[in-house]
Structure 1
Amino acid sequence: MKRIFYLFIFSSFRVLAQTTPATDASNYPPQVNFTSDQDKTNMMKRLGIRAMRPGPSGDEKAPNHANNDEALANPYPNYPDVLTLKNGKKVTTAAQWWKERRPEIVEDFEREVYGRVPKDAPRITWQVKVTDREFMGFTPIIAKQLVGHADNSAYPLLNVNIAMTLVLPANAKGPVPVLMMFAPSTLPAPAQPAKEELEQINEAVKEMLLDKHPELKTIFEKYPAYNLIAAQNYGFNPFAPRPAGDPPAAQQLIAAGWGYVLIDPASIQADNGAGLTKGIIGLANKGQPRKPADWGALRAWAWGASRALDYLASEPMVDIKHIGIEGVSRYGKAALVTMAFDERFAMGLIASSGQGGTKPSRRNFGEALESLTGGAHYWMAGNYMRYAASDADFGSKTANDLPVDSHELIALCAPRLTFISHGIPSQGDANWLDHQGSYMATIAAGPVFKILGVKDLGLSNDYKTEKMPAVNTGILDGRLAWRQHDGGHTDGPNIKYFISWANKFMAPAVAGK
């Protein structure tokens, strides 16, 4: 029977190989394979840049260490007015914001900072690979692993398959809110075969091995209790010792009646400059280098999150009106970009995002614009490099020449729920991130929330004078929120505050309860 089975499999592959047409690579432009430095040099040539200012070092002992002196932190103290049109006219109504000012800001961010998504970006087709009934703690859940295949018919030399996991409470009475998180796509506690079923599997595997390798018989006889496939326990053990602190975010979300999504950013676009002719950016460009206004990795990750939201609209147990996006560090940047550009996301937990996220580019504190153009140019549009140019066809530019800044990116999230999270430097959320600057940007974004009829932080919007609250003192009364916890480079200590804060604004239709 086994020989018949193997013959059937072999024949199926042979027929498939005969009927599936091979891709003729000569019909398509060959994929360019740059190193990260080569890609950066190519973009500099496109832009007419001969030299760029180096970014500061994160090592405080280095001669070019980043500034941590607040007295030197504001060389460009005046940020662009979020409610002043380019023609100088003041925005005084919500209609003016939506019809005039917001489109101006979006255009500037797309052209100069994060890049444009191509109008013909590949379509994504989602496929459920695994549906598993599991437990998280004592709560039954339904977990699905999905793959989103990008249409590569225009350039079959590249494949992009987005990895995503969706986890929902099994006993919810109605659709539940969902928090999407940038993270590897993994099942929380894969269901395992029962003991008797595992014994059957092991016996069958041994038989197959002995059929091909009879010399193994003496080994199996020597170790009769040995199982080739051992029992696995991914589940929750209530008696196991637990680390200090709150449960993981996933457990807190499920316990609160929410669902969550894990979307793997690496499956959308590589986190390096050499990957720009691969991934979704490379597929859209048919394997060729980017043009100056093309999207970078941050925008690509955000685009992938939007495609995941497309799928969630088909899930009956997902409350599509209450989908959130979360990320920490570089993925905090990506989460903020996601919120800003896709208004379908109802809430965001933006954690420790630094330059390119909530930190103002005009601040000279910690991470700088030049840090990104030097070491992470691939996160941003090519045009972003112009603002670090010291010698170029157009002269030179600085962060003060940027038409937009981080407070306006936060403002693009209004009036939706936007929670800005940080830890403290002594625990690892380094000065590099510029906590004070992030708070200033949050303050400066407030007028847009107000003009749209919702509460911001509830303070004045004078970002030059408002004082950052004490650690563990949250400002959680409005749709714009701030909390700096006493942990490190994580948003774990703020998850419970985020959930309770968001629930207030979603009540009474929370978690299908």
Structure 2
Amino acid sequence: MPRRHPLSVAAVLILAFAPCACSSASEPLPELPAVSELPRRDELPDALTTFIGARSIDSPDAWRDVRAPELRRLFQHYVYGFWPTTAEVRSEVIKDVTIAGGKVRYKHVRLTHGDGSAPPINVALFLPPAATRAPPVFLALDPCGNHTLIADPEVALSSAWVDGLCPGAVDNKATEAGRGGRAERWPIALIVERGFALAAVHESDIDPDNRDDTSFADGVHPHYQVDVAPAQRWGTIAAWTFGVQRVVDHLVADSDVDGKRIITVGHSRRGKVALLAAAFDERIAMAIPHQSGTGGATLSRSSLGESLFAINGLFPHWFNDTFPLFNNKEVFLPVDQHLLIALVAPRPLLATNGDDDSWADPPGALRAVEAASPVYELLGSSGLQKNGNDVLLEADLSWHSRPGGHSLGLEDWQTFLRFAEHHFGAQ
């Protein structure tokens, strides 16, 4: 029988107005150029030169006060869209038990946000069962539901939309047959044994990843007003980022985890979110975008991997309606993804890849990390470090590629844990 943990507080009200490095939900002045008016930039935009006024950035204060806010606005205007910066969050602990033969503590936390009309966000917290101090916490999205991460009946079955390719999915609904269907991607027992927690969220609780429905009638979009032009409306990647920030609102107030050591991690499209959330929210202490590809940690200007034409055609709901205007015109982008990486500085960031995952473009991600390094150095970090041609995993800014293709598994988590332990210490 699972051991029940006493709930000291059944429900906690958290107001999500903690300091957060986010752009406004209504776009500030001055107006930015139309895509047709942007200058061609064959080379990567310089991280330390402003877009407006070509001002040289030569101090940490100038980066934080001038360049970083400008970059966040540029990314929202031309790529991801604008999303709400704050929302009231209410947390309710639904269940708190020990599972997996006593090796894992599972806490189900339900978050309602805004005026309460949006679908709730169900957070599955997997914790060391006898921690003597609050552990660092990995925060991740999963496409198929928290119940697929571990084969235990205590974990709540998702009631949100699921892709038909998910284990146990029937008519886009989760079934008991899906329990533990993606456990090989999430070595939960290892994570908690190493002294870390995992906060997992079914992405459909925030916004369904349904490319056949671009109306945004489901998920968070109808429940929040964002006062921007239609071309700058927020897409699914931005919506997921908004949801991740609401989970951060909870984690920084949850005494069962160390709210100052939150690590966003994600694979593929969820890696894009892990990076974007860390770039916009300084409460996130570390980012590990894994095989995040185009729109993530690799360069839009790269000639390798997935093109903007391909990603915007296959996934028209991910970005705003301005981003497709750069299809086959990447050289006119005023930003590139090295600048998104730079927005995480000086916090640790590891961009991980697979040697055979050409679609996600590991070389382009390495170039992006290299181009972001001057910002890390400006802010007092050593930035990217190499031993010959080998990138050092222990640096604040790092890149790693292992044999194999586009996947998430035990080998990847061993790398994530090694990086986190180096920076946070063995737990």
> TM-score when scaled to structure 2?
0.77
Which of 479, 486, 498 is 2:396 aligned to? 479
For the residues of structure 2 that align with 1:82 and 1:164, how far apart are their CA atoms?
A: 36
Name whichever of 160-169 and 483-492 sits farther off: 483-492
For the residues of structure 2 that align with 1:116 and 1:247, how far apart are their CA atoms?
A: 31
More helix by share: 1
Structure 2 partner of 1:432: 359
1:332 touches 1:357 (CA, 8 Å); kept in 2? Answer: yes
Structure 1 partner of 2:307: 368
Structure 2 partner of 1:412: 343
Indicate yes or no: 2:204 matched with 1:266: yes
1:423 touches 1:487 (CA, 8 Å); kept in 2? Answer: yes
- Deviation digits for residues 437-485 of structure 1 (CA, Å, limit 9, x no counterpart): 111111111111111111222259xxxxxx9x5xxx6521311111101
- Deviation digits for residues 54-90 of structure 1 (CA, Å, limit 9, x no counterpart): xxxxxxxxxxxxxxxxxxxxx9751000011232222
How far 1:500 moved relative to its partner?
2.0
Indicate yes or no: 2:190 matched with 1:252: yes
Which of 218, 221, 244 is 1:278 aligned to? 218
For the residues of structure 1 that align with 2:112 and 2:189, how far apart are their CA atoms?
A: 29
Which of 106, 127, 138 is 1:179 aligned to? 138
Matching residue's letter, 1:433: A
Which of 73, 82, 94 is 1:116 aligned to? 82
Closer, same or farther in 2 for the Cα pair 1:108/1:444, shift >3 Å? same
1:349 touches 1:498 (CA, 8 Å); kept in 2? Answer: yes
How far 1:282 moved relative to its partner?
2.4
- Deviation digits for residues 181-232 of structure 1 (CA, Å, limit 9, x no counterpart): 111223746478xxxxxxxxxxxxxxxxxxxxxxxxxxxxxxxxxxxxxxx9
- The alignment yields a C-alpha RMSD, in angstroms, of 2.9
Matching residue's letter, 1:180: L
- Deviation digits for residues 394-420 of structure 1 (CA, Å, limit 9, x no counterpart): xxx811111100100111111111010
Which of 320, 323, 326 is 1:384 aligned to? 323
For the residues of structure 1 that align with 2:415 and 2:281, how far apart are their CA atoms?
A: 24
1:422 touches 1:490 (CA, 8 Å); kept in 2? Answer: no
Matching residue's letter, 1:304: G
Structure 2: stretches of 5+ with no match in the other structure: 1-33, 155-176
How far 1:382 moved relative to its partner?
1.6
Closer, same or farther in 2 for the Cα pair 1:399/1:329, shift >3 Å? same
Percent identity between matched residues is 28
Alignment of structure 1 residues 57-72 onto 2, 5 Å: none
1:132 touches 1:190 (CA, 8 Å); kept in 2? Answer: no
Which of 279, 285, 291 is 2:230 aligned to? 291
For the residues of structure 1 that align with 2:285 and 2:406, how far apart are their CA atoms?
A: 24
Alignment of structure 1 residues 3-402 onto 2, 5 Å: 77-86=42-51, 87-118=53-84, 123-135=88-100, 140-152=103-115, 159-183=118-142, 184-186=145-147, 188=150, 190=152, 248-273=186-211, 274=213, 275-285=215-225, 291-388=230-327, 398-402=329-333
- Deviation digits for residues 240-261 of structure 1 (CA, Å, limit 9, x no counterpart): xxx9xx9943222111011111
Structure 1: stretches of 5+ with no match in the other structure: 1-47, 50-74, 193-231, 236-242, 389-396, 461-466
**Which secondary structure does the structure 2 equivalent of 1:125 belong to?**
strand
Matching residue's letter, 1:424: D
Which of 471, 492, 497 is 2:415 aligned to? 497
Structure 1 partner of 2:28: none
**Which secondary structure does the structure 2 equivalent of 1:320 belong to?**
coil
For the residues of structure 2 that align with 1:182 and 1:496, how far apart are their CA atoms?
A: 19
For the residues of structure 2 that align with 1:127 and 1:108, how far apart are their CA atoms?
A: 36
**Which secondary structure does the structure 1 equivalent of 2:64 belong to?**
helix
For the residues of structure 2 that align with 1:398 and 1:320, how far apart are their CA atoms?
A: 41
- Deviation digits for residues 98-156 of structure 1 (CA, Å, limit 9, x no counterpart): 1111111111001111111135x6533222222221136xx633211222224456xx5
Structure 2 partner of 1:72: none
2:110 touches 2:122 (CA, 8 Å); kept in 1? Answer: yes
Closer, same or farther in 2 for the Cα pair 1:248/1:294, shift >3 Å? closer
Closer, same or farther in 2 for the Cα pair 1:315/1:122, shift >3 Å? closer
**Which secondary structure does the structure 2 equivalent of 1:170 belong to?**
coil
**Which secondary structure does the structure 2 equivalent of 1:180 belong to?**
strand
For the residues of structure 2 that align with 1:90 and 1:474, how far apart are their CA atoms?
A: 28
The structure showing larger relative contact order (alpha-carbon pairs under 8 Å, at least 6 residues apart) is 1
**Which secondary structure does the structure 2 equivalent of 1:295 belong to?**
coil
Structure 2 partner of 1:58: none
Matching residue's letter, 1:361: S
> Alignment length, in residue pairs?
358
> TM-score when scaled to structure 1?
0.64
- Deviation digits for residues 1-25 of structure 1 (CA, Å, limit 9, x no counterpart): xxxxxxxxxxxxxxxxxxxxxxxxx
Name whichever of 277-286 and 168-177 sits farther off: 277-286
Closer, same or farther in 2 for the Cα pair 1:289/1:412, shift >3 Å? closer
Closer, same or farther in 2 for the Cα pair 1:253/1:459, shift >3 Å? same
